[in-house]
């Protein structure tokens, strides 16, 4: 971590200089083998910083670290690491197997379950066998849920209380279970069958009289999600309702887990970034910056090959206009601008449509209204750019007929592109295809084909005027 | 709100059917003028749902609503509305001025400050004059901070306690101030000069003995931000550290406000979406779906006009190759594919670079390593697509020389584009220009120019072989 002092430093926050010095000091203690001082200083750091420090260490120093920390202490910062599953597998398999199993068992169960689901089967089975029984059971439950669903991101470490308890009894219970709960800020009230019957916030609990019954002061109407709900929907709901945590129920309304706001922050960013990368026609798995060039090439190739093929369709179509080009070669100079402008207009519409579909906002708008707006927007932008082009072409090249052909083609192409950029993704979504798959490159290429067809057909029609 | 039953419903959650029925019922009560039953049912809803219901009402029904609810009750759901500033202005100016001022004063201060900063000056001054003194003062303070900084998104409604207090005294104080605090889950310990000296979570407070002193159990090392810090940096920090709230300090380390996790969720999504829209070459102000076609055209035009002008540079450059095109018109058919493929390759690199710069991750990677990776990735993708193209062109058109020219140009162009898509934004960021401004369209157009120059120069050089 370097210390930056320029104003536009993207990673600076208040403690940077101190943290860097702290890390350097720790590395020194570790290599000098001053183990007690190392432990003392290390455990003063926030878990996120412990994780940052850990990423700076080489394998040898990491080995030393494992000998100095208990599995729980290691698990605490392992929970904060944002590394690929491959890297985590490497790390865990480099440790003593029992130690690794205990670290996994001491991590937050939802994180451990994600890792376990990734590990090769034999590795996973041995770790399961080597961890504590209660950890093994909880993690097994969570491993069964699909990634990207509520079940896949929930944790089972929540606080449930009885409606028959008094506030005083609830507080006593709370103090006991607090260390093991991911959040104590909402308490979930369940009946004897473990069905969710109410919820009470810690805020309301401490404001209440000690003798009141939970059942009398709890909120009975609880907003919850189902284990199978998509994580993106859960994220938007939590963001809309400003919840710190939301309960997860199974089909019989039993309370099986909770999802906390901090997990959701990650989901919100993940989902927005997913759309972002797709707009560029890339898969977003893993962390793109860390990819080897081979991996990066692999991710980008599917789209690029698809585009190459689509580009050949455009080329083949254009080759039928070879004669036209021979007669008026100047027409060729404007091919990129026609294709490019309609492509850009289409991508702009697409961007709005894909986000609108993802956040659910697009449902509130009537389709007819949307189409009319798009046509008008396309006509306005198309008209402006067309007039601009006509003026420039006439002045620069002294060829007003070419100017007219280019302008009219641009106008029609941009209007059409603006419309298609909205409705192609909507149509895809209606058929159950992920609209973000209809990403920028796909739409721009189809717009290319249509706009250039209009262009050359118009040129042929006005050929007499051109020669 | 329509009830959807298809599986791919983007807005469905557990309570949808009940909520729809609840809203219909409320509208009926409102129009029948059954005011007591209406209030009772309305206040049972979560504030977010109250906000949703409000958006369904026409102006006449909203008027009725204002007469049935206290300013505080209206403020509670106004805090949840995600509408444009223009819409909010319309709503507030349609109310009685005193009532509007009281609603603003009862809203969360950071939200009120944002709205006030948008209102026309006379309106803003009257509202300030008509609200309660303590609300006026708090809101005025927040209005002075720039949008998009910690100061601009913080709230002043936090709980501060003295290190000399016992746990018991702190709990008593907490119960008193809880109703007015945005969060009570962290308590901030300040000294006599209001400087931040420590922090204690509610969890730790309730686990502790009643007689312990706050000073003995609080955490002294507090991670904080400065009022002028960029909101995006605050968001990533909170996401990394999993904080529910973070204290905001001024330059003398006085505690002036806090930022809570729910506000940050909005920031995280905002920032990711900002980059998303910019990749498409659009400004992201407001909510794109609600824009009139005129507003939408206005937002998109700057980029489109810029692109038109850049496209003219390409066209002018291409026009110098008019002769070449006349001789071998088939060359024209491949113009879109050369320009398009290098544009896409560049956009893919750009997407990774912009996100890397925004999240600060790009700093950990050495520039040289990055350049080498990019060149290799570009060469691998370029080579694959080039070979593919050569094969197809030779088979389809029986013109291997054209095939070679197209393939070589593509290979060089894509290698170059992959590299430029990473380093142009990095260079812009070094000079303090927002890298997301170097958005997709800009890079694709510059790649167009370079790739087509290579293409036609190569064609000229091999002209004898072509004829």
Sorted by where each begins, the domain ranges of chain B are 10-148, 160-261, 288-466
| pLDDT recorded at residue B217 | 92
| pLDDT recorded at residue B439 | 60
- Tell me how crowded residue B98 is: count the other CB atoms within 10 A of its CB: 14
| pLDDT recorded at residue B325 | 85
Looking at chain B, the whole-number percentage of residues with pLDDT higher than 70 is 91
CB contact under 8 Å between B308 and A385, yes or no, is yes
Residue A248 near residue A225, CB atoms below 8 Å: yes
| pLDDT recorded at residue A5 | 32
Residue A10's pLDDT band (cuts 50, 70, 90): very low
- Give me A395's structure tokens: 């002045």
Residue B389 near residue B337, CB atoms below 8 Å: yes
For residue A300, the chain B residues in CB contact (below 8 A) are 345, 348, 377, 381
- Average pLDDT (B35-55) is 90
CB contact under 8 Å between B336 and A318, yes or no, is yes
State the DSSP H helix or E strand holding residue B162, giving kind and residue range, or none if neither: strand B160-162
- Average pLDDT (B304-313) is 83
Mean pLDDT score of chain A, rounded to an integer?
84
C-alpha–C-alpha distance, residues B39 and B33, integer Å: 11
Instruction: Tell me how many residue pairs between chain A and chain B have CB atoms under 8 A apart.
Output: 393
Q: Evaluate if residue B364 carries a pLDDT over 70.
A: no
- Residues A233-275 pLDDT 10s: 898 888 888 888 999 998 888 999 999 888 888 888 777 777 7
For residue B323, the chain A residues in CB contact (below 8 A) are 329
- Tell me how crowded residue A346 is: count the other CB atoms within 10 A of its CB: 32
| pLDDT recorded at residue A13 | 38
| pLDDT recorded at residue B9 | 28
Q: Are both B160-261 and B288-466 of the same fold?
A: no
Helices (H), A131-248: 133-143, 150-153, 167-177, 202-207, 214-217, 231-241
Q: Evaluate if residue A461 carries a pLDDT over 90.
A: no
From B121's Cα to the closest Cα of chain A, the distance in A is: 31
CB contact under 8 Å between B11 and A360, yes or no, is yes
Q: Evaluate if residue B12 carries a pLDDT over 50.
A: no
- Tell me how crowded residue A202 is: count the other CB atoms within 10 A of its CB: 22
Q: Evaluate if residue B252 carries a pLDDT over 50.
A: yes
Q: Evaluate if residue B70 carries a pLDDT over 50.
A: yes
From B294's Cα to the closest Cα of chain A, the distance in A is: 7
Greatest mean pLDDT range, A67-81, A255-269, A319-333, B180-194: A67-81
| pLDDT recorded at residue B4 | 31
Order of strands, edge to edge, in the sheet holding B160-162?
B160-162, B186-190, B196-201
Question: In sequence order, what DSSP letters do the residues of A380-425 get, joined into one string?
Answer: HHHHHHHHHHHHHHHHHH--HHHHHHHHHHHHHHHHHHHHHHHHHH
Looking at chain A, the whole-number percentage of residues with pLDDT higher than 90 is 27
pTM to 2 decimal places: 0.74
Weakest-pLDDT range from A223-237, B174-188, B222-236, B431-445 = B431-445
Question: In sequence order, what DSSP letters do the residues of B11-27 get, joined into one string?
Answer: T--TTHHHHHHHHHHHH
Best of A200, A233, A242, A301 to mutate (most B CBs within 10 Å, chain B): A242
Domain A288-466 bears CATH identifier 1.10.357.20 = yes
- Residues A348-390 pLDDT 10s: 888 888 877 776 666 666 777 888 888 888 899 899 999 999 9
Residue A454 near residue A321, CB atoms below 8 Å: no
Q: Which CATH fold topology does A10-148 show?
A: MgtE N-terminal fold (1.25.60)
| pLDDT recorded at residue A317 | 84
- Least CA distance to B419: which residue of chain A? A293
ipTM: 0.73
CA distances from A263 to A110, A259, B255 (A): 10, 7, 28
Q: Evaluate if residue B279 carries a pLDDT over 80.
A: no
| pLDDT recorded at residue A363 | 66
Q: Evaluate if residue B49 carries a pLDDT over 80.
A: yes
CB contact under 8 Å between A351 and B444, yes or no, is no
C-alpha–C-alpha distance, residues B394 and B289, integer Å: 46
- Average pLDDT (A139-165) is 88
Among residues A451, A437, A289, the alpha carbon closest in space to that of A382 is found at A451
Greatest mean pLDDT range, B126-140, B328-342, B366-380, B449-463: B126-140
Domain A160-261 bears CATH identifier 3.30.70.100 = no
**Backbone angle region of B253, left / alpha / beta, with phi > 0 → left and psi within -120 to 50 → alpha:** left
Greatest mean pLDDT range, A95-104, B240-249, B293-302: A95-104
For residue B322, the chain A residues in CB contact (below 8 A) are 329-330, 332-333
The residue that leads in pLDDT, B298 or B40, is B40
Among residues B134, B144, B145, B180, the alpha carbon closest in space to that of B159 is found at B180
Those residues whose C-beta lies under 8 Å from the C-beta of residue B58, and which sit 6 or more positions away, are none
The residue that leads in pLDDT, B83 or A186, is A186
| pLDDT recorded at residue A15 | 45
Mean pLDDT score of chain B, rounded to an integer?
84
Q: What are phi and psi of B246, to 5 degrees?
A: -135, 140
Residue A146 near residue A159, CB atoms below 8 Å: no
| pLDDT recorded at residue A190 | 93
- Average pLDDT (A443-463) is 85
C-alpha–C-alpha distance, residues B159 and A159, integer Å: 25
For residue A384, the chain B residues in CB contact (below 8 A) are 297, 301, 304-305
| pLDDT recorded at residue A16 | 66
CB contact under 8 Å between B225 and A14, yes or no, is yes
Answer positive or negative: Cα dihedral of A53, A59, A61, A64.
positive
Looking at chain B, the whole-number percentage of residues with pLDDT higher than 90 is 27
């Amino acid at each position: 971590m370097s210390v930056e002092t320029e104003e536009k430093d993207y990673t600076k926050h208040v403690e940077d200089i101190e943290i860097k010095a702290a890390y350097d000091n720790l590395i020194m203690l570790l290599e000098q083998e001053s183990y007690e001082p190392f432990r003392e200083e290390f455990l003063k750091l926030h878990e996120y910083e412990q994780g940052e420090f850990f990423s700076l260490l080489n394998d040898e120093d990491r080995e030393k670290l494992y000998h100095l920390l208990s599995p729980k202490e290691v698990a605490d910062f392992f929970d904060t690491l944002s590394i690929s599953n491959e890297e985590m597998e490497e790390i865990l398999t480099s440790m003593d197997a029992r130690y690794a199993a205990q670290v996994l068992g001491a991590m937050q169960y939802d994180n451990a379950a994600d890792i376990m689901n990734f590990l090769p089967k034999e590795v996973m089975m041995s770790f399961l066998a080597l961890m504590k029984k209660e950890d093994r059971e909880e993690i097994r439950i969570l491993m069964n849920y699909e990634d990207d669903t509520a079940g896949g991101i929930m944790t089972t470490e929540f606080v449930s209380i009885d409606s028959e308890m008094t506030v005083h009894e609830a507080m006593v219970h709370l103090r006991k279970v607090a260390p093991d709960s991911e959040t104590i800020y909402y308490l979930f009230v369940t009946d004897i069958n473990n069905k969710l019957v109410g919820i009470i916030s810690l805020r309301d609990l401490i404001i209440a009289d000690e003798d009141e019954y939970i059942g009398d002061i709890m909120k009975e109407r609880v907003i919850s999600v189902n284990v199978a709900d998509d994580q993106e929907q859960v994220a938007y709901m939590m963001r809309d309702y400003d919840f710190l945590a939301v309960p997860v129920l199974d089909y019989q309304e039993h309370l099986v887990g909770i999802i906390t706001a901090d997990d959701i922050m990650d989901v919100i960013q993940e989902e927005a970034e997913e759309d972002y990368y797709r707009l560029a026609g890339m898969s977003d798995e893993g962390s793109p910056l860390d990819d080897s060039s081979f991996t990066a090439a692999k991710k980008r190739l599917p789209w690029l090959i698809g585009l190459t093929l689509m580009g050949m369709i455009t080329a083949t179509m254009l080759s039928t206009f070879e004669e036209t080009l021979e007669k008026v070669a100047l027409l060729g100079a404007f091919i990129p601008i026609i294709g490019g402008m309609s492509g850009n207009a289409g991508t702009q519409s697409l961007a709005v449509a894909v986000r609108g579909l993802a956040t659910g906002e697009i449902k509130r708008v009537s389709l007819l209204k949307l189409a009319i707006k798009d046509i008008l927007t396309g006509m306005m932008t198309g008209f402006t750019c067309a007039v601009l082009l006509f003026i420039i072409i006439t002045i620069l090249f002294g060829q007003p007929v070419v100017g007219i052909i280019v302008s009219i083609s641009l106008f029609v192409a941009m209007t059409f592109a603006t419309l298609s950029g909205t409705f192609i993704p909507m149509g895809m979504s209606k058929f159950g295809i992920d609209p973000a798959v209809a990403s920028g490159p796909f739409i721009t290429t189809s717009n290319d084909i249509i706009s250039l067809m209009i262009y050359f057909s118009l040129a042929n029609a006005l050929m007499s005027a051109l020669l």
